[in-house]
Amino acid sequence: MDNEYRLRDLPFPCISRIRGKSAALQVLERVKQSPLHIDMRDVDMLSMSFMDELVFHLAASANMRNVVFIIDDQVLLNKLAHIADIRQININYKFADEQIKRLEHKHFTPSGV
Amino acid sequence: MHLTFENVDQFCADVQCEEDDPIIDLSRITFFRPFSLVYLGMFLRYHNSNGKSFSVLPPIATKARKYLSQQQFWERFNFDPKTMVPADLTQFSNTTSLNDIIDIEHRSYIGEDIAKQVFEILRRKQVKINIGLFSVMISELIDNFEYHSQSNLAVCAMQYYPNLNRVVFAVGDCGIGIKESLISNPNNEHLKELSEHEIALKSFEPLVTRMHEGGMGLTEVREGIIEMGGRLTCSTGIGYVIISQKEEASGNMAHYLPGVQMELSVPEVA
């Protein structure tokens, strides 16, 4: 994949909304050129706040269909599924050598809100 | 006697704060869990900032007394936090062991700085837990202090018990607490009628936040602690919350203490 963005190469840890927004700005530049694979594997610390902020900016700019998240474990998949539900969006993902799949959001209603 | 989440609130409630020179009697304490240290520290700071100072009867047990002395517990907490200058804060450093109490100042990226150092310490010690996830949870807790507490100083303490195969991390502040923080968001108007422990439990649900964005940090902490087979205890004001694989409970503490105090206790994997 030519257009690939590796979170493990970032010079900062992937653990806050501020960092998620920084990554999102870089990703938005890259995804303008061609569809983008965001490699989430082998990252020491990767928080849901970071991922949610990244996804939020991609969705807000209508770029979700041009992005595929590469993952390697069920924990990451669960986090992506959670974000898909909460944000009411569809997320493309793939395990390393598998086909691209799509997480389709369910109808999520936070209790009490 | 061990001082833990289960009894530190009653211990503080028994201190005669209305007296001129109230005594904190630690003479029978033989062991301090991180939560109790943080809670007791915040108890001291809160009352100090209101002009109250204390006398102390130190632990008779040598190990417990030496531990408090090594941590400079009284010098650290028996002062008004507003008078503390950043240069005097004790920060994580490369030589810091797992057993230190650390001051946390209110500044940008403090959450990720502490998380990175916790990650390195646990990796260096080859502690057998999901270190990445644990560090992420810690960054979320400290970010909450930074964004929501409206206080300038927090504290954390971490302990590794090799014989129990367990890591425990506690963090606390004496800021505005979860309820006041959440109901400051007009979207959370409906939460006003809830008790502090009910609101504290709700704060672990997705999208419940003071701000317009976010509300996933504590959700990840809850899911992380369950996934790791650990136990989370949290107190805020008069309320408490306990979350583990086996239980999710909330109720009232025996003592009111402003702010948020939280402990993550995680077992090593075989």
Q: What would the pLDDT profile of A86-109 be if each residue is shown by its tens digit?
A: 888 999 999 988 899 998 876 544
Determine the pLDDT at residue B240: 97
pLDDT at residue A111 is higher than 60: no
Dist CA A65 CA A59 (whole Å): 9
| B221 phi/psi in degrees, rounded to 5 | -65, -45
Instruction: Check: CB of residue B54 under 8 Å from CB of residue B40.
Output: no
Question: What are B157-184's pLDDT values in tens digits?
Answer: 999 998 999 999 999 999 988 888 888 8
Dist CA A76 CA A72 (whole Å): 7
**Structure token digits, residue B248:** 């999710």
- Nearest Cα of chain A lies from the Cα of B206 at a distance, in angstroms, of 6
Say if the Cβ atoms of B206 and A44 lie within 8 Å: no
ipTM of the complex: 0.85
- Nearest Cα of chain B lies from the Cα of A45 at a distance, in angstroms, of 5
Q: Which residues in chain B have their CB less than 8 angstroms from residue A113's CB?
A: 187, 207-208
pLDDT at residue B82 is higher than 70: no
Say if the Cβ atoms of A45 and B139 lie within 8 Å: yes
pLDDT at residue B94 is higher than 50: no
**Structure token digits, residue B161:** 């018990």
Determine the pLDDT at residue B171: 94
> Could you give the count of Cα atoms lying within 13 Å of B269 in the half-sphere of its Cβ?
8
Q: What is the mean pLDDT of residues B50-63?
A: 89
pLDDT at residue A110 is higher than 50: no
In sign, the C-alpha dihedral spanning B131, B134, B139, B140 is positive
pLDDT band, residue A46 (cuts 50/70/90): very high
A84 close to B (CB below 8 A)? no
| Helix runs in chain B, H state only | 8-13, 34-49, 62-70, 73-77, 110-124, 131-148, 177-183, 196-202, 217-227
Considering only CB atoms, A49 lies closest to which of B108, B208, B216, namely B216
pLDDT at residue A55 is higher than 50: yes
Considering only CB atoms, A15 lies closest to which of B115, B190, B205, namely B115
Q: Which residues in chain B have their CB less than 8 angstroms from residue A54's CB?
A: none
Question: What are B200-245's pLDDT values in tens digits?
Answer: 999 898 877 776 666 788 999 999 999 999 999 999 999 999 999 9
Determine the pLDDT at residue B199: 92
Q: What angle do CA B153, B140, B268 make, to 5 degrees?
A: 110
A47 close to B (CB below 8 A)? yes
| Averaged pLDDT of chain B | 86
pLDDT at residue B35 is higher than 50: yes
Percentage above 70 pLDDT, chain B: 90
Of B106 and B79, which is predicted with more confidence? B106
Dist CA B100 CA B112 (whole Å): 18
pLDDT at residue B97 is higher than 70: no
Dist CA B19 CA B14 (whole Å): 12
Q: Which residues in chain B have their CB less than 8 angstroms from residue A55's CB?
A: none
Q: What is the mean pLDDT of residues B102-124?
A: 86
| Residue of A45, A51, A88 for testing the chain B interface, max B β-carbons within 10 Å | A45
